[in-house]
Structure 1
Amino acid sequence: MPNRTLILSVAVTLSLWNVAQPVMGQALVPYTPPLNSEQLEQTGLGLLEEAAQLTRFQQYQLAVPRAELATQLIPENYQAWALLGSLYLQLENLDKGIELLQKASNLAPKEAGVQFILGEAYFKKGDYQKSIQSLETALKLDPNVPGALFDLGNAYYKLGRFEQAILQYEKAFAQEKSLWPAINNVGLVKYEQGEIDIAIAKWRQAISVDPKAAEPMLALAVALYKQGKTEEALSLGEAALRLDSRYANFDYLKENLWGDRLLNDTQKFLATPQIQKTLIQVKDTQPQSR
């Protein structure tokens, strides 16, 4: 699970747009009558519902024009602006997405869901301070969202505010005991601070939550190898890479918030002959693209 990527997503935040289906029938008529404000609203709500349905199926390109038209027909509806902004985030147009989400926020300043998505947008843009501000605002409105606490911890981590990051990770895990990435990330912080034994304990705890979680398994392997516990380290490392070979990619590790100290030690670990042999085997067993 990439720790850089926020857990809150369009799929989760679709609960924002609990819109009603239009009540008007779609009868064929020989002419187009002028639409009154109620008809425009019902049409806009119908388009918003269609856009939301398409979003659930990740049909973002198809959803955008419907959501855009919905914002024109129901410009005071914050859900339309929030959905459209979220769609632009999915299409990697961060500036446009943030602009539209700000409109939604202005219309509904006490809507926690909008602030959660804004926090995601600012994080993706690399503006971690604004991400923190949006997430903290959202959590004041709705404090029981473990994914948002995890996201807030990641933003603090990126700013080097490690103790605050740990506090948020621990809060997130206290709310959701299956959220192993939160405990995993505490280990990442502790390793960078030189507290290797604590990091090891956290990674073992994460693995106890999900025995097939490749990330804490590889991190634990690297830490044990650093301590000279070669046999256990190599065994764990092989298992982790067979579960998910992406963790041999340093760009992927950086995306997952692995710090310099851990990356340097991982480079040495991955260079060992046994791990190199495992990586060749994993590559050979992967299906070839046609």
Structure 2
Amino acid sequence: MPKYHRLFSFLVCVGLSSVGLPVFGQALLPYSPKLDPEKIEQQGLELAEDAIQLVRFQQPEAALSRAKLSTQLAPGHFQTWFILGTLYLQQEEVDQGIEALNRALTLEPKEPGIFFTLGSAYFQKGEYQTAISEIQKGLKLKPDTPAALFDLGNSYYKLDKHSQAISSYEKAISLDKEFWPALNNIGLIKYEQGKMAEALKYWQSALTIDKEQAEPKLAIAVATYAQGQTQEGLKLAESALLLDSRYADLKFLEENLWGQRLLQDTQALLNTPQMQQLIVRLQVDSTSQSP
């Protein structure tokens, strides 16, 4: 932004110093300096980079403002529209995000990341078949993309196409052995299918990769509790919620693709006096820490 401010000051100074008062009937012809289109475009790309940095510093509104301006200064670069579309999605302004992403696609129709992000956008809208179509277009251009395969699996899962979902998750894992979310979600499917032992196997594998992940730990706790090992289940659940208290919210769990069978068993665990006391304590701690 500093270059823009200097240019604005220059225009003001020129207008005040060189333009006299017009006589009656005289056309006012203010001085217009020549602008370098390449420099303007470069500034637009720099603003797009600034937007990315602001997201990293958790300043989404400032990032979105920079991204909007970047598309005005560099409208012919797909990157500016791509970044703007992604930021709209983060702000849950999905339709505007899709519009910006489609602008990016007209400029660069062979960029797989645009298709992947469009898939994410349609997933947010609940249009899972369209999400699958967009992600598959991206995978044709860049097939070895674990995150995209994971999103594809999630879209299949929402359509109850469990075998296709598991296949997509397994492809993601084959490309990245440390990709625990795919293992976790195979466990979610297995649990809904009544295959508790298999579900536990996948969740334990996910936890082996990252022992600080609350989701597979809570899932193991729920399955353990449902099998009658109540004290062990409660102990594991407490450990999971201390890592991330959001997992005490059934709505949050549903958004993370927990199925009805698992949600019912989770509710039974969370309704115990011990867990209710913990949840209240975590809520109090969260309130006291908020600004």
- The correspondence of residues 27-38 of structure 1 with structure 2, limited to 5 A, is 30=14, 32-35=32-35
Change (3 A) 1:82 1:234: same
The two structures, once aligned, show a CA RMSD in angstroms of 2.4
**What's the CA shift string for 1:16-47, capped at 9, x where partnerless?**
xxxxxx9xx97968454233xxx223302312
| Contact map agreement 1:85 1:101 (CA 8 A) in 2 | yes
Q: Which has the higher contact order (CA 8 A, sep 6+)?
A: 1
| Contact map agreement 2:48 2:80 (CA 8 A) in 1 | no
The residue that corresponds to 2:97 in the other structure is 97
The residue that corresponds to 1:230 in the other structure is 230
The residue that corresponds to 1:269 in the other structure is 269
Q: Distance in 1 between matches of 2:237 and 2:248?
A: 10
Q: Distance in 2 between matches of 1:136 and 1:193?
A: 26
Change (3 A) 1:66 1:40: farther
| Contact map agreement 1:157 1:165 (CA 8 A) in 2 | yes
The residue that corresponds to 1:107 in the other structure is 107
The residue that corresponds to 2:49 in the other structure is 52
SS in 1 for 2:120: helix
SS in 2 for 1:258: coil
The residue that corresponds to 2:39 in the other structure is 42
- The correspondence of residues 72-91 of structure 1 with structure 2, limited to 5 A, is 72-91=72-91
Q: Distance in 2 between matches of 1:212 and 1:68?
A: 37
Give aligned-pair identity as a percent.
49
How many angstroms does 1:287 deviate by?
5.5
- The correspondence of residues 203-282 of structure 1 with structure 2, limited to 5 A, is 203-282=203-282
How many angstroms does 1:279 deviate by?
2.7
Q: Distance in 1 between matches of 2:285 and 2:43?
A: 48
Change (3 A) 1:73 1:286: closer
Q: Distance in 2 between matches of 1:283 and 1:67?
A: 36
Structure 2: segments with no counterpart, 5+ residues: 15-30
Change (3 A) 1:42 1:60: farther
**One-letter amino acid of the structure 2 residue matched with residue 191 of structure 1:** Y
The residue that corresponds to 2:185 in the other structure is 185
Change (3 A) 1:247 1:71: closer
SS in 2 for 1:34: coil
The residue that corresponds to 1:15 in the other structure is none
How many angstroms does 1:172 deviate by?
1.5
**One-letter amino acid of the structure 1 residue matched with residue 278 of structure 2:** T
| Contact map agreement 2:85 2:98 (CA 8 A) in 1 | yes
* Number of residue pairs matched by the alignment: 264
The residue that corresponds to 2:25 in the other structure is none
| Contact map agreement 1:51 1:64 (CA 8 A) in 2 | no
Give 1 or 2: higher helix fraction: 2
**One-letter amino acid of the structure 1 residue matched with residue 176 of structure 2:** E
Q: Which moved more, 1:66-75 or 1:257-266?
A: 66-75
Q: Distance in 2 between matches of 1:233 and 1:131?
A: 37
How many angstroms does 1:275 deviate by?
2.4
**One-letter amino acid of the structure 1 residue matched with residue 255 of structure 2:** E
Please say which structure displays the higher CA radius of gyration. 2
Calculate the TM-score normalised by the size of structure 1: 0.82
Change (3 A) 1:64 1:40: farther
Q: Distance in 1 between matches of 2:260 and 2:241?
A: 20
SS in 2 for 1:57: helix
How many angstroms does 1:130 deviate by?
1.3
Calculate the TM-score normalised by the size of structure 2: 0.82
Q: Distance in 1 between matches of 2:70 and 2:253?
A: 40
Q: Distance in 1 between matches of 2:287 and 2:116?
A: 38
| Contact map agreement 1:82 1:101 (CA 8 A) in 2 | yes
Structure 1: segments with no counterpart, 5+ residues: 1-21
SS in 1 for 2:177: coil
Change (3 A) 1:262 1:43: same
How many angstroms does 1:260 deviate by?
0.5
Q: Distance in 2 between matches of 1:67 and 1:44?
A: 13
